[in-house]
Amino acid sequence: MSEPPGAAVSLAEAPPTADTPSKPFAAQRVLPLRRPGRWIATAVVLVLVAQFVHGLTTNSFYQWDRFGYWFLRPTILDGLLITLEVAAYSAVLGLLGGILLALARLSKSPVLRAVSWTYVWALRSIPLIVVLLFLYNFSALYKTLSVGVPFGPAFFSFDESKLATDMAVAVIGLSLNEAAYAAEVVRGGILSVDQGQHEAAAALGLPKSYQFTRIVFPQALRSITPNYVNQLIGLIKSTSLVFYVSLLDLFGTAQSMGSTYPGDIVPLLLVSTVWYLILTSVVSVIQFYVERYYARGATRSLPPTPLQKLRTGLRDLRERARREAAV
């Protein structure tokens, strides 16, 4: 170097010493901040998780061999089928009832509004188990059901003892309860649609039914979906109450098998737990894709599916590795 020592030198030419970097700052990666607290917390949680898993696998109390024996037994699967049937019928009927109740609540007729409000108020106040037991004993209260003019002639009548199978009682009870909650979910969804949408549909002269089914409701579904799925998961678990109206669902089967084989109560409860976990997981996966479908147009680009996330994640990782190698 031609300059005498001590003269000002540019950073780029400076020799690597303790306080002058070997490269210009702009070309360097910033050193990430160390976060020891985060590492400690992670370690503690990992230890706790390991203990839990260890206990779950090694504690003989759980009797995993008996779990394996029961998990796919036909009697358990029959119970599972009942659970699925009750849940599916009640989910559909409950949602339909909820839509009708929500429309009544939003109508201009004060009578419809009052009836809808009262229904929701009553059914949300009464515990589901009480509704089910009421219906179960219903045939004792009313021997026949008839359709006709109040206080006047009847057009049709049904013998109630034939109509009220255990399955019907369970589905009706759960649907009545579900409809009350679904009504509020649907009403909330409809209210979340911008008033301008109603006006634009009206200004174009779209028929009333088209306005609801094609313009308002599809937009409402975006906010209805997560709330209704929440409801649905609650419903799947509530189906365990149908045991009390002598319907042997998944939980009911596990319970009755447990009283026949008292030593197997814990593995049987585990069997039903795992099945409920599976059902909820399936519903959550479906929820993701339904929500994604109704997000069309609401967001500029759709949220990625797990597969797409994995792909972009791998690509990012590869690019990062390449950058690191280059630096």
Footprint of other proteins on 39-98 (CB under 8 A)? none
Q: 23 vs 296, which CB is nearer to other proteins? A: 296
Alpha helices per DSSP H over the chain:
36-58, 64-71, 74-106, 110-125, 128-136, 138-141, 160-163, 166-191, 195-203, 208-210, 217-238, 250-260, 265-294, 306-326
x/- string (CB under 8 A) for other proteins, residues 199-228? xxxxxxxxxx-x---xx--xx---------
- In angstroms, what CA-CA distances link 160 with 17, 46, 93, 117, 132? 95, 58, 20, 28, 16
Which one of the spans 40-48, 73-81, 123-131, 298-306 is the region binding other proteins (CB under 8 A)? 298-306
* Listed ranges 27-35, 105-113, 139-147, 295-303: which one lies at the site for other proteins (CB under 8 A): 295-303
Judged by beta carbon, residue 215 or residue 245, the one nearer other proteins is 215
Does 253 interact with other proteins (rule: CB under 8 A)? Answer: no
In this structure, what are the phi and psi dihedrals at residue 298, rounded to the nearest 5 degrees? -80, -35
Please count the residues of this chain forming the interface with other proteins, following the rule CB under 8 A: 24
Q: By C-beta, is 4 or 196 nearer to other proteins?
A: 196
Distances (CA, A) of 320 to 29, 305, 326: 13, 22, 10
Site string for other proteins, 143-182 (x = CB under 8 A): ----------------------------------------
Q: What string of H, E and C letters represents the secondary structure of 227-269?
A: HHHHHHHHHHHHHHHHHHHCCCCHHHHHHHHHHHCHHHHHHHH
Q: Which of 139, 197, 256, 287 binds other proteins (CB under 8 A)?
A: 197
CB of 290 to other proteins, least distance (A): 14
Q: Which of 58, 75, 194, 308 binds other proteins (CB under 8 A)?
A: 194
Nearer to other proteins, 82 or 221 (CB): 221
Q: Yes or no: say if 255 and 241 are a contact pair by the CB < 8 Å rule.
A: no
Q: What CA–CA distance (Å, rounded) separates 279 from 82? A: 13
Under DSSP, the state recorded for 18 is: S
Which residues bind to other proteins, rule: CB under 8 A?
A: 194, 196-197, 199-208, 210, 214-215, 218-219, 294, 296-300
